[in-house]
């Protein structure tokens, strides 16, 4: 059989599809006589845009849509399959974008892209069919649905005998049923992980039998009735997930006219699921779909997979797609990567309660960028979202990352049921003290995501009002069907109002603006004194803590302490001197908070200055 694995926009351009790469390996092992092709519809779309607009729409614009518009579905709308919306030129959707405050630049871009999408869908469908595949398999996650549906529909119109299969995150659970039910040109939907079921499906297609035994499969029987096999409750064992093949991506990207705009990277999977979510799923998180079960790979195998891919594809940038790093990797994988000869540049998602030693280990293992799920700096709000970390821990992490030149991506989330204005007043008043630490990309009201605890249990405080409004501009389906297919939902607003959110956003904007030129560093002086050089914009000052007990107190506060525990520590070192006593420390610490040298997280206090760092590199965004 000839199988075409298709990866449509808006998958990122700078790395290959892990899902398609893994399926290639699986098929080549289990069905060696099959020919597997990959169609990189995302790269083709970026090339098409560059060509047709004579360079006006580049991969930079592609990334703007791909990285920033998921929560209002602009990427999907570009390929939207609602005819009604197409004929009305999408006026309703544009009105919606205006109402929610999307910038005119993005609106103009989205309109232009949409005008070009019909021609691309036609071109794409014919290109895929030109290789005469028996089966075309679409991998769809995030904003890949509409482009995949449009191309699948056109392929079926041109070649009714070509079998269309959908799989990927957008097909999980009810979403897969809804896709199969509402789009009859999709022959099969593979729900859940596909490493075992996709090759089984190919066997069944070839023999015409055995569809009923494939877990999670949506199919039609001889009477054309829709059949949904139960989705497996048992996740695929991680040892059954082979290393991906990325040959066709690198062959294509290295020859592509968009190559000059992007730096290709490798993607690997060290683990699936989330070990924290197994214990206490963050209330807003739907990331792991219907399978939270945590599984991680053999570190030896992982290192050898990375090494051979680095050699083969001549690429040192590596993205680990794990939702959370396995804590065991700190003693297994990371030391191996540290001792490796390769000058890798790795990206990892981690939990934010790392220790200082773990931050150093990441850095030593050539991790240069982490996504630590900081989400908030307020312990009460972090508790509401069951994040399992405190504001103090988050501040410490930001400080250690600054000292280690470890780049950080994070977002400030708000809108949690039970949060109060005072939780934010406290943070907003202290943000100017943080300008030397890595800022969040912005602040966002949480969305109601399928599979999240807020979605599953309305008693947690968010009432589901149905599929997010933008879906009605993408599909001509009833509200019920949209709700079956959607990942994002509208919900009753909870938590802080928009005025408080605006104050937060304004402070974050100043933080983002000032970060590249702000430092706050401390230096030990003779006699136990401490010099703190404050080069945070727009103020520049120097402070000397002359009293050695208070200088010591400042050092102790790097750990984030209450006044009483600080006092105990100082008494154990200096005896019952006045500067060690709680009353004295209380007023001194408050003065340090007012100077922006110490961060207050309820009853805990954390020193903010960092060790001097001559190699400081600032990357923002
Ligand atoms: S937000 Fe991160 S840590 Fe929390 S459940 Fe989701 S994947 Fe796990």
Residue 453: pLDDT above 70?
yes
> Which own/partner pairs from 56-62 qualify as long-range (CB within 8 Å, at least 24 positions apart)?
57/109, 57/112, 57/113, 57/116, 58/258, 58/261, 59/13, 59/258, 59/261, 59/262, 60/261, 61/109, 61/113, 62/9, 62/10, 62/13
Any domain includes 76: yes
Give the mean model confidence (pLDDT) for residues 144-164: 98
Classify strands 271-272 and 295-296 as parallel, antiparallel or unpaired. Answer: antiparallel
**Dist. CA 540 → ligand 1 center (Å):** 39
Residue 447 pLDDT grade (very low, low, confident, very high; cuts 50, 70, 90): very high
pLDDT of 251-308, one tens digit each? 999 999 999 999 999 999 999 999 999 999 999 999 888 789 999 999 999 999 999 9
Which ligand 1 atom is at minimum distance from the Cα of 274? 8
What is the pLDDT at residue 621? 45
Choose one of 269, 277, 327, 449 to mutate for the ligand 1 pocket test, by most ligand atoms within 8 angstroms of C-beta.
277
Asked whether 392 and 601 are in contact (CB, 8 A), the reply is: yes
Domain final position from 217, 233, 249: 233
Q: Are 349 and 370 in contact (CB under 8 A)?
A: yes
Average pLDDT of span 577-600? 97
- Which pLDDT score is estimated for 264? 97
pLDDT at 413 over 60: yes
Q: What is the pLDDT of residue 538?
A: 78
HEC string of 90-123? CHHHHHHHHHCCCCHHHHHHHHHHHHHHHHHHHH
How far is the centre of ligand 1, averaged over its atoms, from the C-alpha of 471 (Å)? 25
CA pair distance 49, 75, nearest whole angstrom: 14
DSSP letter assigned to residue 496: S
- For residue 375, which atom of ligand 1 is closest to its CA? 1
Q: Residue 387 CA: which ligand 1 atom is closest? A: 4
Same domain, 161 and 14: yes
Residue 620 has pLDDT above 60, yes or no: no
Torsions phi, psi of 429, nearest 5?
-70, -15
Same domain, yes or no: 272 and 223: no
Query: What is the predicted pLDDT for the residue at 616?
Result: 63
Query: End of a domain among 400, 430, 446?
Result: 446
Is omega for the bond preceding 538 within 30 degrees of 0, making it cis?
yes
Closest residue by Cα to atom 3, ligand 1, is: 276
Atom of ligand 1 nearest to the CA of 323: 7
Q: In ligand 1, which atom is closest to the CA atom of 349?
A: 2
Q: Cα(282) to centroid of ligand 1, in Å?
A: 6
Q: Which atom of ligand 1 is nearest to the CA of 288?
A: 7
pLDDT band at 619 (very low <50, low <70, confident <90, very high): low
Predicted confidence at residue 310, as pLDDT, reads 96
Q: Could you tell me the sign of the dihedral formed by the alpha carbons of 472, 477, 480, 485, in that order?
A: negative
Q: At how many degrees (to 10) do helices 582-594 and 563-574 cross?
A: 120
- In this structure, the residue with its CA closest to atom 4 of ligand 1 is 282
**For residues 160 and 154, what is the distance between their CA atoms, to the nearest angstrom?**
10
Note down the domain range covering 125.
2-233
> Counting Cβ atoms within 10 Å, is residue 202 exposed (0-12), middle (13-18) or buried (19+)?
buried
Would 564 be classed as within a structural domain? Answer: yes
Tell whether 193 and 277 lie within a shared domain.
Answer: no
225 and 293 belong to one structural domain: no
Q: Rounded to an integer, what distance in angstroms lies between the CA atom of residue 201 and that of residue 210?
A: 8
Atom of ligand 1 nearest to the CA of 275: 8
User: Exposed (0-12), middle (13-18) or buried (19+): which is 476, by Cβ within 10 Å?
Assistant: middle
Any domain includes 371: yes
DSSP symbol at 431: G
For residue 613, the model assigns a pLDDT of 77
Query: How open is the CA angle 221-226-232, to the nearest 5 degrees?
Result: 95
Claim to verify: residue 228 and residue 269 sit in the same structural domain: no
Residues with Cβ within 8 Å of residue 331, at least 6 apart in sequence: none
218 and 280 together in one domain: no
pLDDT higher than 90, residue 361: yes
Query: Does one domain contain both 219 and 154?
Result: yes
In this predicted structure, the answer to whether residue 598 has a pLDDT above a threshold of 60 is yes
Least trusted range by pLDDT, from 239-248, 286-295, 307-316, 373-382: 286-295
What is the Å distance from ligand 1's center to 47 Cα?
Answer: 35
d(CA 72, CA 106): 12
Mean pLDDT of the chain: 95
Cβ-contact 549, 580 below 8 angstroms: yes
**351 shares a domain with 228:** no
Q: Which atom of ligand 1 is nearest to the CA of 281?
A: 5
State what percent of residues in the chain have pLDDT above 70: 98
> What is the 276 CA–ligand 1 centroid distance (Å)?
7
Average pLDDT over residues 499-524: 97
41 phi, psi to nearest 5 deg: -60, -30
Pocket of ligand 1 (CB under 6 A): 274, 276-277, 281-282, 285, 287, 323-324, 351, 373
d(CA 208, ligand 1 centre) in Å: 41
User: Of 446, 465, 484, which marks where a domain is finished?
Assistant: 446
Mark whether 223 and 121 lie in a shared domain.
yes
* Alpha carbon 19 to chain centroid, angstroms: 16
Sign of CA dihedral 140, 146, 151, 157: positive
**Judging by beta carbons within 10 Å of its beta carbon (0-12, 13-18, 19+), is residue 91 exposed, middle or buried?**
exposed
| CATH of residue 367 | 3.20.20.70
Helix axes 104-130, 91-99, angle to 10 degrees: 130
- The predicted model gives 2-7 an average pLDDT of 98
Distance from the alpha carbon of residue 489 to the mean position of ligand 1, in angstroms: 19
Q: What is the pLDDT of residue 182?
A: 97
* Ligand 1 midpoint to CA 269 (Å): 16
SS3 call for 605: strand
**pLDDT tens digits, one per residue of 295-354:** 999 999 999 999 999 999 999 999 999 999 999 999 999 999 999 988 999 999 999 999
Residue 355 domain-assigned (yes or no)? yes
Q: Say whether pLDDT at 614 is over 80.
A: no
Q: Which residue among 284, 285, 349 has the greatest number of ligand 1 atoms within 8 angstroms of its CB, and so is best to mutate?
A: 285
| Mutation to probe ligand 1, out of 270, 274, 410 (largest number of atoms < 8 A from CB) | 274
Alpha helix (H) ranges present in 131-210?
A: 145-158, 174-182, 197-207
Condensed to tens digits (0 to 9), the pLDDT of residues 67-89 reads 999 999 999 999 987 766 666 66
Strand order in the sheet with 2-6: 35-39, 2-6, 135-139, 163-167, 188-190, 217-220, 226-228
Number of domains in the chain: 3
287 and 323 in contact (C-beta within 8 Å)?
yes
pLDDT of residue 289: 80
The yes-or-no verdict on residue 604 having pLDDT over 50 is yes
**Rounded mean pLDDT of 471-482?**
95
Q: Give residue 296's pLDDT.
A: 97
- Rounded (10°) CA dihedral 246, 249, 251, 256: -160
CA–centroid distance, 438 to ligand 1, in Å, is 21
- Atom number, ligand 1, closest to the C-alpha of residue 351: 3
Residue range 134-160: average pLDDT?
Answer: 98
Same domain for 277 and 225, yes or no, is no
3-state secondary structure of 231: coil
CA distance 37 to 34: 10
Q: How confident is the model at residue 617 (pLDDT cuts 50, 70, 90)?
A: low
In this structure, the chain runs to a length of 621
- pLDDT number for residue 288: 81
Based on the domain organization, do 156 and 202 belong to the same domain?
yes
Over range 404-431, report the average pLDDT.
97
Give me ligand 1 centre to Cα 389, in Å: 12
Angle at 6 between CA 5 and CA 11, to 5 degrees: 130
Distance 301 CA to ligand 1 centre (A): 25
**Residue 380 confidence (pLDDT) above 80:** yes
What does the alpha-carbon distance between residue 337 and residue 330 come to, in Å, rounded to a whole number?
10
Kindly state the DSSP code that residue 417 receives in the 8-state scheme: T
- Examine the domain organization and report whether 226 and 291 are in the same domain: no
| Residues in CB range of 606: below 8 A, 6 or more apart | 392, 395, 396, 399, 557, 558, 559, 560, 598, 599
């Amino acid at each position: 059989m000839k199988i075409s694995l298709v990866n449509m926009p808006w998958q990122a351009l700078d790395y290959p599809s892990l899902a398609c790469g893994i399926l290639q390996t699986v098929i080549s092992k289990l069905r060696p006589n099959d020919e597997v092709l990959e169609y990189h519809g995302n790269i083709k779309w970026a090339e098409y845009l560059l060509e047709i607009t004579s360079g006006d729409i580049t991969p930079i614009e592609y990334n703007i849509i791909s990285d920033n518009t998921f929560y209002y579905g602009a990427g999907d709308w570009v390929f939207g399959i609602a005819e009604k919306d197409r004929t009305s030129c999408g006026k309703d959707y544009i009105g919606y974008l205006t109402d929610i405050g999307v910038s005119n630049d993005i609106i103009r871009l989205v309109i232009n892209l949409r005008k070009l999408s019909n021609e691309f869908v036609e071109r794409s469908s014919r290109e895929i069919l030109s290789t005469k595949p028996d089966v075309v398999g679409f991998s769809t996650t995030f904003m890949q649905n509409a482009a995949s549906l449009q191309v699948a529909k056109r392929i079926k119109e041109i070649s009714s005998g070509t079998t269309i299969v959908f799989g990927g995150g957008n097909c999980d659970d009810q979403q897969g049923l809804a896709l199969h039910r509402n789009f009859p040109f999709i022959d099969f939907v593979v729900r859940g992980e596909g490493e075992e079921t996709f090759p089984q499906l190919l066997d069944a297609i070839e023999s015409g039998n055995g569809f009923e035994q494939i877990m999670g499969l949506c199919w039609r029987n001889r009477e054309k009735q829709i059949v949904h096999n139960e989705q497996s409750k048992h996740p695929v064992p991680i040892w059954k997930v082979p290393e991906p093949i990325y040959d066709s991506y690198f062959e294509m990207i290295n020859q592509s006219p968009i190559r000059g705009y992007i730096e290709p990277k490798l993607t690997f999977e060290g683990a699936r699921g989330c070990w924290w979510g197994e214990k206490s799923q963050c209330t807003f998180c739907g990331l792991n779909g219907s399978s939270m079960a945590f599984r991680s790979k053999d570190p030896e195998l992982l290192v050898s997979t990375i090494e051979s891919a680095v050699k083969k594809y001549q690429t040192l940038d590596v993205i680990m797609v794990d939702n959370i790093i396995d804590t065991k990797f700190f003693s297994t994988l990371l030391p191996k990567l540290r001792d490796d000869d390769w000058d890798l540049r790795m990206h990892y998602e981690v939990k934010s309660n790392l220790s200082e030693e773990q931050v150093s280990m990441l850095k030593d293992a050539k991790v240069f960028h982490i996504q630590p799920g900081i989400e908030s700096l307020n312990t009460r709000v972090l508790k509401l979202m069951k994040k399992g970390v405190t504001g103090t821990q988050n501040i410490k992490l930001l400080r250690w990352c600054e000292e280690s030149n470890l780049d950080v991506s994070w977002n400030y989330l708000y809108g949690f049921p039970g949060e109060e204005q005072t939780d934010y007043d406290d943070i907003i008043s202290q943000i100017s003290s943080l300008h030397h630490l890595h800022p969040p990309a912005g602040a966002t009201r949480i969305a109601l995501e399928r599979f999240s605890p807020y979605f599953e249990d309305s008693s947690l405080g968010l009432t589901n009002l149905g599929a997010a409004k933008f879906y009605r501009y993408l599909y001509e389906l009833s509200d019920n069907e949209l709700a079956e297919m959607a990942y994002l939902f509208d919900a009753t607003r909870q938590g802080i109002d928009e005025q408080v959110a605006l104050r937060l956003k304004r402070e974050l904007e100043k933080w983002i603006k000032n970060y590249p030129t702000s430092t706050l560093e401390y230096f030990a002086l003779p006699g136990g004194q401490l010099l703190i050089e404050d080069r945070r914009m727009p103020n520049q000052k120097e402070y000397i803590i002359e009293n050695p007990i208070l200088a010591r107190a400042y050092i102790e506060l790097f750990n984030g302490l209450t006044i009483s525990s600080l006092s105990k520590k100082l008494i154990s070192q200096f005896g019952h001197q006045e500067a060690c006593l709680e009353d004295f420390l209380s007023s001194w610490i408050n003065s340090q908070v007012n100077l922006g040298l110490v961060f207050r997280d309820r009853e805990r206090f954390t020193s903010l200055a960092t060790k001097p760092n001559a190699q400081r590199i600032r990357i923002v965004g």
